[in-house]
Amino acid sequence: MPLFQYSGRDNSGSLVSGSLDAASAEEVAALLSGENVTPIEIKEASRVAKVSPRSGKYKPGLDENSSVIDRINYFLGANKVQVDDLIMFARQMHSLTKAGLPLDRAIRGLEMSLTNKAFKAILSDVVTGLENGQTLATSLGKYPAVFSNLFLSLVHVGENTGRLDLAFREVGKYLELEKNTTKQVKSATRYPLFVIVAIAVALAVVTVFVIPVFEDAFERLGADLPWQTVLLMDASNFVRTYWPIILLVLFSSFFGFLSWKNTESGRYQWDRRKLSFPLAGIIFERVALGRFSRTFGMVLSAGVPVVQGLTVVAGAVGNAFISSNIHKMREGVERGESLHRTAKSSAMFSPLVLQMIAVGEETGTVDELLSEVADFYDAEVEYDLKRLGDAIEPILIAFIAGLVLILALGVFLPIWDLSTAANG
């Protein structure tokens, strides 16, 4: 029997919901009527997205009636909630709440216009939570993998202050800026990664297929080989003989690194070491500090207290090491220290930024000046990314030239020696 999800109201008018196994929707309606429940909505569970609030995972359910496209989307995760979905949701909610539309009607209308099954299921559950008396922040908070702490905090403040439209406007701005920053970083790293992958593939082809052909020819001729050729032949033989062990070591190292990085101490150590990487470390640092400045200014302008704001921002910077320093700043503020003093003791900010924070505290415009600090960091990140591309290109060219030289010497020196001996 198929599984049906239902929602309805009992004799007291309270909203009830659940699921029942039945042959049809009419049978579910009859069963509910027998329990003195007036059905409002009945839909087959296999036709809606299965969403786990605790884990935040979301993929459309599959059954024997699912199409091939649905099954492909399931395995590829095509229904994952993307940042573009959240940006459109925030912008539309800003417009609808500004117009005074009730939250349940606004979200229900957005749900009907969505094509993403997972997001539709989430919004449907959010509306159910609102109808059950939950706040919007609480209903959204059941999906931490979709809605970040910053998103939820701004919505919570917007609900408490009656300015939910402004909260959604700020959320939309923040998500748009994060999207642009991510695009810039990906754009700067796409070319180096492509070149590195191409070099790795070329080396694998030469080592496995090309060098053995030359090795057979050299052995038949019985010539004395230079050390460059011997080195290439030994490396090729080693790879062809022990390739299963090499692949096992590589995969084990990769997954071991991911497992270590997912632990609390591993994430902290990795994020700390990233900041000291040559060329890229300063970019990681400025991206995180730019997020801190913009996010902290945003939550302060929304009316969030400084201590609570630092807690929210610590989870939004995307770097565990910098996040721990922000927590230390919060502890300093809780002890009664000024924001400028705690920021200075963290040793994360430049003198210019510290001066702007000090002026902001004196004039009561910390949020505005933090926004300017964020613009400063964004400009620096854009410049650093361009400089990173300019610095990586000659390094890659030199690396490729070195590989070509080694291969040329190893392959062509014996041929040149043989031709010289034959002509002599």
195: pLDDT strictly greater than 50: yes
151: pLDDT strictly greater than 80: yes
The separation between CA 399 and the C-alpha centre of its own chain, rounded to angstroms, equals 31
Number of Cβ atoms within 10 Å of the Cβ of 119: 25
Nearest-5° angle of CA 256, CA 260, CA 262? 120
Sorting pLDDT into bands at 50, 70 and 90, what band is 52? very low
Report the helix count and the strand count for the chain, using DSSP H and E: 17, 5
Q: How far apart are CA 242 and CA 244, in angstroms?
A: 6
Q: Looking at residue 66, what is its pLDDT?
A: 53
Q: How far apart are CA 167 and CA 155, in angstroms?
A: 6
Tokens in use for 414? 């014996």
Q: Looking at residue 385, what is its pLDDT?
A: 79
**Residues paired with 60 in a beta bridge:** 49
Q: Looking at residue 48, what is its pLDDT?
A: 44
Mind giving me the DSSP string for 114-183? ---HHHHHHHHHHHHHHHTT--HHHHHTT-TTTS-HHHHHHHHHHHHHT-HHHHHHHHHHHHHHHHHHHH
- Judge whether 151 and 164 are in contact, CB under 8 Å: no
How far are the Cα atoms of 3, 95, 197, 227, 410 from residue 220, in angstroms, in the given order? 73, 79, 35, 18, 17
Using DSSP's 3-state secondary structure scheme, residue 41 falls into strand
Mean local confidence (pLDDT), 266-276: 89
Q: Looking at residue 37, what is its pLDDT?
A: 72
Write down the mean pLDDT value for the chain: 79
Give burial (CB, 10 Å; 0-12/13-18/19+) of 91. middle
Mean local confidence (pLDDT), 86-114: 87
Site of tokens 């993929």: 59
What are 364-421's pLDDT values in tens digits?
A: 888 888 888 888 888 888 888 778 777 777 888 888 888 778 777 777 777 776 665 4
Q: In which region does residue 280 sit, left (phi positive, over 0), alpha (psi from -120 to 50) or beta (all else)?
A: alpha
Q: What is the 3-state secondary structure (H, E, C) of 319-344?
A: CHHHHHHHHHHHHHHHCCCCHHHHHH
80: pLDDT strictly greater than 80: no
| All domains in the chain, ordered by first residue | 3-76 (no CATH), 83-166 (1.20.81.30), 167-424 (1.20.81.30)
Mean local confidence (pLDDT), 192-205: 82
| 190: DSSP letter | H
Tally of residues, the chain: 424
Q: How far apart are CA 243 and CA 80, in angstroms?
A: 36
363: pLDDT strictly greater than 70: yes
Q: How far apart are CA 156 and CA 71, in angstroms?
A: 37
Q: Looking at residue 164, what is its pLDDT?
A: 84
Sorting pLDDT into bands at 50, 70 and 90, what band is 256? very high
Site of tokens 């959204």: 140
Helix axes 149-161, 281-301, angle to 10 degrees: 10
72: pLDDT strictly greater than 50: yes
The separation between CA 36 and the C-alpha centre of its own chain, rounded to angstroms, equals 47
Q: Looking at residue 77, what is its pLDDT?
A: 56
Mind giving me the DSSP string for 263-277? SHHHHHHHHHHHTTS
Pairing of strands 3-9, 38-44: antiparallel
Site of tokens 């430049």: 350
How far are the Cα atoms of 100, 150, 255 from residue 103, in angstroms, in the given order? 9, 20, 44
Using DSSP's 3-state secondary structure scheme, residue 52 falls into strand
- Judge whether 306 and 300 are in contact, CB under 8 Å: yes
296: pLDDT strictly greater than 70: yes
Number of Cβ atoms within 10 Å of the Cβ of 100: 8
Q: Looking at residue 69, what is its pLDDT?
A: 61
How far are the Cα atoms of 3, 37, 113, 182, 310 from residue 41, in angstroms, in the given order? 14, 12, 18, 41, 42
**Residues paired with 15 in a beta bridge:** 9
156: pLDDT strictly greater than 90: no
- Judge whether 123 and 114 are in contact, CB under 8 Å: yes
